Amino acid sequence: MEKVREAVKKIREKGYLVSPKTIDMLKEEENPLEIVKNIEEKEESSSKAIIEPEDIEEQIKKNKEETDEKPKTKIKGKLKQIPSKEHEKEIEIINKDISKESRSKGEVEDFVENFKSRYNKIYKILRSRGENSAVKIENAKKKNEKIKVIGLITEMKSTKNGHVFMKVEDPTGLMKALVPKNKKSIIEKTDELVNDEVIALEGHMGNNNLFIINNIHCPDLPVRELKTTEEDIAIATTSDIHIGSNYFLKENFENFLKWLKGEKGNKRQRELAGKIKYLTIAGDIVDGVGIYPEQEKELELTDIYLQYKQFKEYMEEIPDHIEIIIGPGNHDAVNKADPQPKIPPELIENIEELPNVTMIGSPALLKIHGLRLLVYHGTSFDDIIPQIKSASYENVKGVLRKTLKSRHLHPIYGEKPITPEREDHLVIEKAPDIYHSGHVHKNGYDKYRGTICVNSGTWQEKTPFQRRIGHKPTPGRLPIIETKKGKINVLRFDQGLNEEGVKEKK
């Protein structure tokens, strides 16, 4: 009633009388003061003296038209302090983008050139790592003394007697090799090898041109100090959002967006939100359509364009000072083979018009504030994990280390597809400072030889397929890297942002 009195008072101050019916009408309105504030003052020449209900209806209409005409601006945050705003973006894409440069026709010659490129690149890495005395395989067959060779594994198996037999080749020839069963430490090394990777073998030529292996050397990363930045900023890493799926954790993901805007979390968590300068998304941003049999039964959105439209709307919610780096995955509407091109701009309408979006392929090597950031979806992980003892779907850091030790993101040919580019873009030529992957829906963290490794989990709850195979995903967990400290934090959106604050991964 007080608001009505104030509204009537305003009308009278403008020189009008108010009819009883108008007062009754104002009583029905939620905000009568807003309605009458724009009523113009009565002019002396005007014959109108009383404000009637029809005048109020006319004013409501005018107010609505004015509101509709005003440009709608999104309120993108409530953070009082945003340190990351003080720093300009520094993003440089180092590796080649095959989105428009692919020349592969999938012919035999393309595959041959791809493997030659792999061999030559890793050969150079091994020689720079101390294997510069290695000889060619065609020359190794002529020597009896201790020698080293660098070759690509074409076959590997355990014999009935407990030895490990393998075939390796280089551009000059093929060689049979054996790790004797009494060399237990070397046998253990073979547990971590997979077909098609390039290694250095140390040993001697035995009978029947069989090379006896005394040691095995992987290209591996050099031992380095963890590199940090002068700027006190942070990188939020995520992947496998799976928008469109019935199992997409919409509420958790939207809470993540609210946290980025400072609308969620305790003091420590909000302070961390203010440091976020970059958000990297390592693929599978949508669930896709036709990815596996009868997928449509598990989809909330069965139109791929609607899935990407929803994704773009979410990206528009992110404050402009946060740079968003978006890569593809096997559920996205791009070539499924590695290396993958960027998601085509026509799928996500005008996404690149957003000033804070950078689209990348997979893999992508970027330079951010002096740090080398490697982003790879992780499609090959399904092939590598069953082949080595140090990795499992529960222990994802094992497969992250394996790809770094091999210096190759997709070493096994013949399982998940590889596009045979004339140059192998999957070799890790430069040691990354940060390595971000996804795909397996399981969070994993590691610091290995100066590289921060993160597998970022998912925003999709356990699917029927995952239940059948016993896979335990870790949805709703957000890894964040503070680059000045070289520190990994994890926010638990699956449990809500509670008073426990931020979990740090050592």
Give 167's contacts (C-beta < 8 A, 6+ positions apart): 153, 154, 155, 156, 174, 175, 176, 177
Asked whether the predicted pLDDT for residue 389 surpasses 50, the reply is: yes
Which DSSP helix (H) or strand (E) runs through 484?
none
Q: What angle do CA 178, 183, 184 make, to 5 degrees?
A: 120
Give the helix ranges, DSSP H, for 134-183: 137-140
Q: Tell me, what DSSP letter sits at residue 221?
A: P
Is it true that domain 229-494 has CATH number 3.60.21.50? yes
pLDDT class of 34 with cuts at 50, 70, 90: confident
- What phi, psi does 21 have (nearest 5°)? -65, -35
CATH code for residues 108-217: 2.40.50.140
The sign one gets for the Cα dihedral 449, 222, 192, 407 is positive
Give 4's contacts (C-beta < 8 A, 6+ positions apart): 23, 26, 27, 32
Asked whether the predicted pLDDT for residue 226 surpasses 60, the reply is: yes
Report the alpha-carbon distance of residue 375 to residue 400 in Å, rounded: 12
pLDDT class of 498 with cuts at 50, 70, 90: low
For residue 66, what pLDDT is reported?
65
Q: And the tokens for 236?
A: 């939020």
pTM over 0.85: no
Least trusted range by pLDDT, from 32-41, 274-283, 474-483: 32-41
Least trusted range by pLDDT, from 93-102, 191-200, 464-473: 93-102
Least trusted range by pLDDT, from 10-19, 400-409, 444-453: 10-19
Asked whether the predicted pLDDT for residue 86 surpasses 50, the reply is: yes
pLDDT class of 17 with cuts at 50, 70, 90: confident
Report the alpha-carbon distance of residue 35 to residue 107 in Å, rounded: 73
Report the alpha-carbon distance of residue 141 to residue 169 in Å, rounded: 12
pLDDT class of 140 with cuts at 50, 70, 90: confident
For residue 295, what pLDDT is reported?
84
pLDDT class of 506 with cuts at 50, 70, 90: low
For residue 504, what pLDDT is reported?
59
Report the alpha-carbon distance of residue 243 to residue 361 in Å, rounded: 19
Give the domain ranges of the chain: 2-68, 108-217, 229-494
Report the alpha-carbon distance of residue 446 to residue 293 in Å, rounded: 35
pLDDT class of 36 with cuts at 50, 70, 90: confident
User: SS3 for 169?
Assistant: strand
Percent of the chain with pLDDT over 70: 92
For residue 12, what pLDDT is reported?
83
Asked whether the predicted pLDDT for residue 232 surpasses 90, the reply is: yes
**Do 318 and 257 touch, CB atoms closer than 8 A?**
yes
CA nearest neighbour of 124 among 138, 134, 114: 134
- Tell me the Ramachandran region of residue 284: left when phi exceeds 0, alpha when psi lies from -120 to 50, beta otherwise: left
For the beta carbon of residue 95, count every other beta carbon within 10 angstroms: 17
For residue 75, what pLDDT is reported?
43
For residue 318, what pLDDT is reported?
94
The residue that leads in pLDDT, 89 or 16, is: 89
Average pLDDT over every residue of 298-305: 92
What residues form DSSP beta bridges with 91? 368
For residue 73, what pLDDT is reported?
38
For residue 101, what pLDDT is reported?
67
Q: What angle do CA 184, 189, 195 make, to 5 degrees?
A: 130
Average pLDDT over every residue of 457-470: 88
**Do 137 and 173 touch, CB atoms closer than 8 A?**
yes
For residue 72, what pLDDT is reported?
43
pLDDT class of 203 with cuts at 50, 70, 90: very high
What residues form DSSP beta bridges with 217? 200
Average pLDDT over every residue of 162-179: 94
Strand-by-strand arrangement of the 434-437 sheet? 91-93, 364-368, 371-376, 434-437, 451-456, 443-448
Q: Please, what is the average pLDDT of the chain?
A: 88
Give 382's contacts (C-beta < 8 A, 6+ positions apart): 415, 416, 439, 440
Q: And the tokens for 24?
A: 């009754």
CA nearest neighbour of 181 among 195, 167, 192, 165: 165
Residue at 464: amino acid letter: P
For residue 74, what pLDDT is reported?
44
Residue at 444: amino acid letter: G
Average pLDDT over every residue of 205-231: 93
For residue 224, what pLDDT is reported?
94
pLDDT tens digits along 337-356 = 999 999 998 899 888 888 89
**Do 229 and 457 touch, CB atoms closer than 8 A?**
no
The residue that leads in pLDDT, 77 or 317, is: 317
Report the alpha-carbon distance of residue 122 to residue 138 in Å, rounded: 19
Asked whether the predicted pLDDT for residue 217 surpasses 90, the reply is: yes
For residue 505, what pLDDT is reported?
64
